[in-house]
């Protein structure tokens, strides 16, 4: 069972260390939800656009063929809500506002599941029933590939047997909460708002706002529209190709949900799908 209990390398020590640059995990597809209205080209021909609000999920493919998640994301009951957590396989999602979707109440502290985008949701994690205080919202969801446990991030600190902060990732094993990743070496204001646990052992992350994190060659500044990969073997972060600043059609929007599919012979770049 994986657990990354602390980020123990201070930035000042990283500035004194050097080793050959490590490549990040090859990714076939990355899914993100933006925090405001966003748009991007459908493919490299730049002849069509995908556009969506913060309830939509954009997809960046290595193939260059871009698409948009549909189904319940286009359900009118989803209007004026934000997808703040997303996992693609199997499908899990989190909303920032309570919504009754096809007769199922999904609250901000819950994780909902669908078997397809046309199926009714089911609640696979009930925040209130499992000790999440009122007013605390989930803002990232992933699964541990080894155990299948939910891996969550929350938008504020709370205590449930231990103190969990917004810079931590928290495992839910069906009975109790445990630290999965502790952001002790991150700035006090750090807020993980998107995460995906990789089969390779790393963790993809996005943050609520721009922060400086320990990088391989020294401090690494990460904007809110970038994805970085945490390397648990070395305790540092590595930049990835998921950088929407490179897309001139992308409106200045941050990420607030993240999922990925690993694979491919090379890292994808310069391609984004909704």
Domain encompassing residue 67:
11-262
DSSP state of 14: H
> Residue 157's CB: how many other CB atoms inside 10 A?
13
Rounded to whole angstroms, the Cα distance separating 120 from 173 reads: 24
- The residue-averaged pLDDT of 195-216 equals 93
Using alpha carbons only, give the angle 261, 266, 267 rounded to the nearest 5 degrees. 60
Write down the pLDDT at residue 2.
65
| Prior bond of 77 cis (ω within 30°) | no
Rounded to whole angstroms, the Cα distance separating 65 from 42 reads: 7
- The residue-averaged pLDDT of 59-63 equals 69
Res. 247: pLDDT tops 80 = no
Query: 69 falls in which pLDDT band (50, 70, 90)?
Result: low
Res. 73: pLDDT tops 70 = no
- Residue 9, SS3? coil
Is 267 inside any structural domain? no
Number of domains observed in the structure of the chain: 1
Is 270 inside any structural domain? no
Give the burial string for 91-103 (b: 16+ CB within 10 Å, else e). bbbbbbeebebee
- The residue-averaged pLDDT of 127-131 equals 95
Residue 77 or 46, more confident: 77
Region of 71 on the Ramachandran plot (φ > 0 left; ψ -120 to 50 alpha; else beta): left
Res. 259: pLDDT tops 70 = yes
Write down the pLDDT at residue 22.
43
User: If you count DSSP H runs as helices and E runs as strands, how many of each does the chain have, helices first?
Assistant: 1, 23
> Residue 262's CB: how many other CB atoms inside 10 A?
16
Taking all residues of the chain, what is their mean pLDDT, rounded to a whole number?
Answer: 77
Is 274 inside any structural domain? no
Write down the pLDDT at residue 254.
72
Residue 50 or 11, more confident: 50
Is 5 inside any structural domain? no
Is 160 inside any structural domain? yes
Rounded to whole angstroms, the Cα distance separating 222 from 212 reads: 6
User: Do strands 255-262 and 27-34 pair parallel, antiparallel, or not at all (unpaired)?
Assistant: antiparallel
Query: 217 falls in which pLDDT band (50, 70, 90)?
Result: confident
Which pLDDT tens digit goes with each residue over 152-183? 999 999 999 899 999 999 999 999 999 999 99
Write down the pLDDT at residue 61.
67
Write out the two tokens for 235.
Answer: 């305790």
Task: Assess contact for 50 and 274: CB atoms under 8 A.
Answer: yes
Residue 271 or 39, more confident: 39
Write down the pLDDT at residue 25.
85
- The residue-averaged pLDDT of 265-274 equals 40
Tell me whether residue 50 is exposed, middle or buried, using C-beta atoms within 10 angstroms of its C-beta: 0 to 12, 13 to 18, 19 or more: buried
Q: Which residues contact 238 (CB under 8 A, 6 or more apart)?
A: 22, 23, 24, 215, 216, 228, 229, 231
Is 6 inside any structural domain? no
Write down the pLDDT at residue 107.
93
What are the φ and ψ backbone dihedral angles of 246, each rounded to 5 degrees?
Answer: -80, -5
Res. 19: pLDDT tops 50 = no
Residue 138 or 5, more confident: 138
State the CATH number of the domain containing residue 244: 2.120.10
- The residue-averaged pLDDT of 207-218 equals 91
Rounded to whole angstroms, the Cα distance separating 234 from 143 reads: 22
Residue 271 or 239, more confident: 239
Is 58 inside any structural domain? yes
Question: How many percent of the chain have pLDDT more than 70?
Answer: 66
Rounded to whole angstroms, the Cα distance separating 138 from 153 reads: 6
Write down the pLDDT at residue 3.
65
Task: Assess contact for 129 and 108: CB atoms under 8 A.
Answer: no
DSSP state of 73: G
Write down the pLDDT at residue 182.
94
Its pTM stands at: 0.81
């Amino acid at each position: 069972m994986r657990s990354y209990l602390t980020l123990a390398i201070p930035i000042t020590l990283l500035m004194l260390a050097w080793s050959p640059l490590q490549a990040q995990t090859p990714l076939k597809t990355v899914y993100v939800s933006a925090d405001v209205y966003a748009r991007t080209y459908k493919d490299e021909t730049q002849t069509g656009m995908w556009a969506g609000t913060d309830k939509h999920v954009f997809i960046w493919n290595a193939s260059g063929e871009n698409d948009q998640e549909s189904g319940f994301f286009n359900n009118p009951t989803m209007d004026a809500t934000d997808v703040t957590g997303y996992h693609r396989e199997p499908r899990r999602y989190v909303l920032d506002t309570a919504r009754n979707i096809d007769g199922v109440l999904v609250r901000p502290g819950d994780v909902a599941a669908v078997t397809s985008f046309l199926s009714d949701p089911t609640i696979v994690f009930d925040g209130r029933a499992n000790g999440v205080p009122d007013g605390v919202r989930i803002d990232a969801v992933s699964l541990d590939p080894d155990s299948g446990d939910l891996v969550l991030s929350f938008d504020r600190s709370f205590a449930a047997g231990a103190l969990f902060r917004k810079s931590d990732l928290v495992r839910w094993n069906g009975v109790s909460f445990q630290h999965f990743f502790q952001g002790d070496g991150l700035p006090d204001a750090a807020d993980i708002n998107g995460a995906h646990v990789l089969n390779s052992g790393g963790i993809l992350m996005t943050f609520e706002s721009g922060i400086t994190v320990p990088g391989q060659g020294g401090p690494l500044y990460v904007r809110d529209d970038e994805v970085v990969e945490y390397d648990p073997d070395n305790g540092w972060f590595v930049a990835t190709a998921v950088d929407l600043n490179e897309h001139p059609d992308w409106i200045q929007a941050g990420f607030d949900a993240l999922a990925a599919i690993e694979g491919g012979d090379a890292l994808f770049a310069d391609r984004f799908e909704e």
